[in-house]
Copies of this chain bind each other. A is one copy, B any other.
């Protein structure tokens, strides 16, 4: 069997030629499925129809690869549109960040951990700061604002990532397990689960907007202390 036949018969899609972008894209897909620990250089090579060692022609090492993945995430989040009012822009940014982090949950703990931020990361940060400054935020208040906004969005995404898979029976199973013997020893948890979380139509995702409004209201108040 020739090499070509082997490639065709396997489920390995070997694109025309390997390049950095396709390595990064494949790595993100692998992390989406198995978490950041499920991403290994050897499996990544295999999925691209290549030996692991070939990847080192396109990334310096695994750390460099993860840097590129994180920068791609910031690129996907998108920058505020110049001239957009700050509250609209920050709402869009928060929702976009949260949405991107929902499909790439491995990225949440990594966003703030890069010692060498990429081009998209820098561009995104600068555009966000600019939006707040143009909206009338002083430099210190801008620092307050971005720390608060990002803390909320990252923290919410972190919680969301830890939830059992969405809309599945698993939630009910978990709830029943909690209720079983623990109802008496943990009455408030039992109450929350039975009277709220297991109710038809409850979705943790809906909590996001409540908190975001609180955060934005707080910033608006800090911006205009005259009320």
Residue of B189, B204, B219 near A129 (CB, 8 A) is B189
User: Which B residue's beta carbon lies closest to that of A148?
Assistant: B211
Question: Could you tell me if B218 and A129 are in contact, using CB atoms closer than 8 angstroms?
Answer: no
CA separation between A158 and B107, bound complex, in Å?
12
A86 CB, nearest partner CB in chain B, Å: 13
Digitize A128-163: 1 where CB-to-B-CB distance is under 8 Å, 0 elsewhere. Answer: 011001000001101110011011111110110111
Enumerate A182-227 residues with CB–CB distance to B below 8 Å. Answer: 182, 185-189, 191-192, 195-197, 204, 207, 210-211, 213-215, 217-219, 222
CA separation between A207 and B142, bound complex, in Å?
11
Interfacial residues, chain A to chain B (CB-CB below 8 A): 108-109, 111-115, 122-123, 125-127, 129-130, 133, 139-140, 142-144, 147-148, 150-156, 158-159, 161-164, 182, 185-189, 191-192, 195-197, 204, 207, 210-211, 213-215, 217-219, 222
24 A/B residue pairs, CB under 8 Å, sorted by A: A108-B109, A109-B158, A112-B158, A112-B159, A112-B162, A112-B163, A113-B161, A113-B162, A129-B188, A129-B189, A139-B191, A139-B196, A140-B196, A144-B211, A147-B156, A147-B211, A148-B211, A148-B214, A151-B151, A151-B152, A152-B155, A152-B211, A154-B155, A155-B156
